A and B are shown apart, each in its own frame.
Chain A
Amino acid sequence: MFNGKIVAFGVLIAGMLYFAGIAGSSSCVDCHTDVAKLKAIAKTLPKKEASAETAGKG
């Protein structure tokens, strides 16, 4: 009976950690797999500049 409680508790914790992990990674991939979201965000970001003095072929 005592061992059964430990196992059940362990399963509960493992389940919580598993779903926490999924939820954790999904907050990144929610945006990074969504083209429309990224396009919208990209419009709001300043463009990186390169020197206009660059010449030659490198």
Chain B
Amino acid sequence: MAPLELHEKVLVAKDFLETTHGSMACTDCHGGDNKSDNMKKAHVGMTADPTFPDATAACGECHAEEAKLAKTSLHYTLATYKPIVHQRASTDPEKLQKLNQGMDNHCYSCHASCGECHVSRPNFAKGGFISGHNFNKTPDQTNQCTACHGSRVGNEFTGKTGSGDAHYTKHDMDCMSCHSTKDLHGDGKSDHRDRYDVKGLSACADCHQLDDSVEQHAIHGDKVSCYVCHAQPYANCYGCHVGLDSKGLAYYKNPDEEELFRIGLNPLQDEVHPEKWILVRRTPSVPTSFDFYGKELMPNFDRLNNWKYASPHNLQKKTSQNRECNNCHGNKDLFLTEDKVKPEFRKANAKVIVADKLIPEKQAEAEQKEEPKKKRSYF
């Protein structure tokens, strides 16, 4: 995605003025003083994005339901961050305050408002209109969705890393083909456990009927996550650190990244994810992530795993792991066994780590050949 020139970011297309939104006075939404001929004075009291942190005034008059739900959207609130990180945090109020300061400076600087999905590039991607201030009903994959979800989701989906996702490369689907407004506009809940805890979250089964006509689906059923068989190796990050440089500008450092594939145990089996076997991704959090703001801010780091549920966006019908039973069965390399987790993180990831004895046994060659093909094989 090429960066926008400064003038391009605020250039209003003349055809926008013919639209419903364009027929309103600029100041109705943005404030400022449209009577002034002086640029500085005209912009006093102006807000570039009138849809954040509350879209009620700007959008609510016509889009009441959307504006109301947006307040609970994780894109807006990032509401799961603090509850999750606080589980690891010190109970010392001074340390907690320092941790919150770090999170506010870094984690919470990233969000998406109504405007950042329907009008402009997100602030995270340095903003700017994507089509001359025209309002787009659905977000633009390149300029909006992957402007934030780029390094992992975007690159994996489009094949910049790996072979891409068949939904995109073979079927020309984009983000919105799966992620409907149910996913993105919020569900009214304010106590999401994590980002997968969203009512009506898109799922493979929304389109793919998991009936017994596919032999491997019948065998693995709801014991194995779809991703285990259909994902390719995906990005894993280690050791993110945040801080402010000598000019007070925020930085993020996440120098280590590698593509790999790890099957782990599901530590939170529930209705949405009942599977025992899931893919896990190494998230970049470490006990020292916020050390710039204070030492030992997360002394209870071990309370949560940092190998977490993964949903790589690089799905293919055929993958190396689903070509042969024994590509997974008995193949310790694919499983998140203890030796693949750094000693200091083994306690935190105890519920995810696969003990050697739990790895499914290798299938006998003869058994594989003799197995009658009563049902249509997936391969």
Contact = CB atoms under 8 A, between A and B. Distances in A.
Interface of A: 21, 24-25, 27-29, 31-33, 35, 38-39, 41-42, 45, 47-58
Interface in B12-52: 12-14, 17, 25-27, 32, 34-37, 39, 42
B23 to A, nearest CB: 9
A4 to B, nearest CB: 31
A58 B284 CA distance: 10
B372 interface: no
Can you list the 7 inter-chain pairs with the closest CB atoms, starting with the nearest? A56-B254, A38-B7, A51-B249, A51-B251, A42-B6, A53-B251, A28-B26
Contact of B245 (A41, A47, A51, A56): A51
A25 B272 CA distance: 50
B151 A58 contact: yes
A50 B249 contact: yes
Interface of B: 5-7, 10-14, 17, 25-27, 32, 34-37, 39, 42, 126, 150-151, 235, 237, 240, 243-245, 247, 249-257
Contacts of A49: 247, 249
A53 B17 contact: no
Nearest to A45: B6
Contacts of A33: 11-14, 17
Nearest to A21: B25
A42 B7 contact: yes
Contacts of A28: 26-27, 32, 34, 42
B26 A31 contact: no
B39 A27 contact: no
A41 B251 CA distance: 29
Nearest to B30: A28
A31 B252 contact: no
